[in-house]
Amino acid sequence: MSPRRPKQTQKSGPILITGGAGFIGTNLADRLLQGGTPVRILDNLSRPGVEQNLRWLQQRHGSLLQTAIADLREPGVLQRAVQDVRGVYHFAAQVAVTTSLDSPLHDFDVNARGTLLILEALRALRQPPPLLFTSTNKVYGALADIGLEANGRRYEPALDPLRQRGISEARALEFHSPYGCSKGAADQYVLDYARTFGLPAAVFRMSCIYGPHQMGNEDQGWVAHFLLQQLRGAPLVIYGDGKQVRDILFVEDLVEALLRAHADMPQLAGQAFNIGGGPSRSVSLLELLVRFVALTGRPAQLRFEPWRTADQRYYVSDLRRFQERTGWEPRVGVDEGLLRLARWLAPGVKAGAEPQFAELMT
C-alpha cells in the first residue's frame, strides 16, 4: 500500500521560522513582517547575541511577530508551533564543524533528530504547509579529488568547466565531519519525506552567507567574524594558507531566494539546490582581507595555523539549477555587500582604496 499523501493547500496563518532569532531568520522575518505577513519565531536563544536580534524585531513589528522561546526538541513544542502556519523555514541548527567534533551526540540530536521531529510534526497535519530546510555545502565532503592550481592569492580548479560554473547538485554526496553527517542526514530526510510522504519540502545547500545581524565567530559566520576582528584591531587566525576559496552571498539575496522557493514549492518539492554567490562572487580569505584592510585603513594582524578537519580548499556553488527553475540570481556584489555589512557593524565606515599585498600583515 502506498503512503498517504497529505492534502496541500495555501493557508492564511503565520510563517514559522525555527531559529528565527538567528542571522538568516532575522533578515527573513523582517522582510516578511514588513510586507504584513505574520511571523512565528521558535528559538531557544542558545547562540550568543541573538537576543538582540529578537528585541530588534519585536520593537519594529510589535504584535505581528509571535515568539516562542523554546527548544524544538522539547515534547509538544513543535506540535503547538506548526498549528495553522502557512509555511515553515527550518534554520534551527548546531552550526559549527568544531563543535560537532567536540560533541557529536549533541550535534546529531539538534541537526538530524531535530529535523526529523519537524518533519513528523508536519506529516501529522491534515494540510502540511511547505517546508524549506537549509543544509550545507559540507554534504559534498572535503572535495579533495578536485585538482586545484594556485593563482595569486587563490586556488582555482584545473578544469575550466568547474572554474566557470562551480559545484553542481550532480556532485556525489560525501558527508565529512559529524556536522556534515548530521546536516546531510537531515538533508536526505527532508528530500525523502517529500518523495515518500508527499510533503511539499525542498533543501538549500548553502555556501557562505553574510550581512547585517550576523553574530559571526571563528567557527561560523566567518565573513562577519573577520571584519569584526579587523575593526577591533584584533588578531586574525587563518587555518591553512588563506588561498581557500568560497562564494559569498549577501543575505538580502538569500532572502529573495527563500521567498521564491516557497512561492514555487509545488514545482521544487523533493529537490535540493546549491545556493551561494556563484563564481562571480567567489573570494579567497586573502582576497577578502585585502578588502577589509581597505575598509578599516589598518593592516591585518594574521596568524596561520594548520588546516582543520573537513576544510574545503575550494567550494563555489553552481547556481544554474535554481536559476533555471525560478529566475532568481544574486544582485548585491561583493564590494557593495561588504561595505553594507561594515556600516552595520560600524556606522561611518567608508570604502577605501585596495592596499598593496605587503600592507596586509603586521
Hey, which residues are catalytic here?
A: 179
d(CA 273, CA 280): 18
Output phi, psi for 263, to 5 deg.
-65, -35
d(CA 271, CA 200): 10
Closest by Cα among 183, 230, 243 to 349: 230
What beta strand segments (E) does 211-329 contain? 236-239, 245-250, 272-275, 282-284, 302-305, 314-315
Output phi, psi for 153, to 5 deg.
-90, 10
Structure-block grid coordinates of residue 131:
517546508
DSSP string, 178-212: HHHHHHHHHHHHHHHHHHHH---EEEEEE-EEE-T
Closest by Cα among 17, 24, 69 to 43: 69
Pairing outcome for strands 39-43 and 201-206: unpaired
Neighbours of 33 (CB within 10 A): 18
Amino acid at 361: M
Query: How many CA atoms, within 13 angstroms, populate the side-chain half-sphere of residue 29?
Result: 34
Output phi, psi for 134, to 5 deg.
-95, 110
Cα–Cα distance list, 333 to 154, 212, 268, 277, 279 (Å)? 19, 15, 27, 9, 12
Neighbours of 76 (CB within 10 A): 9
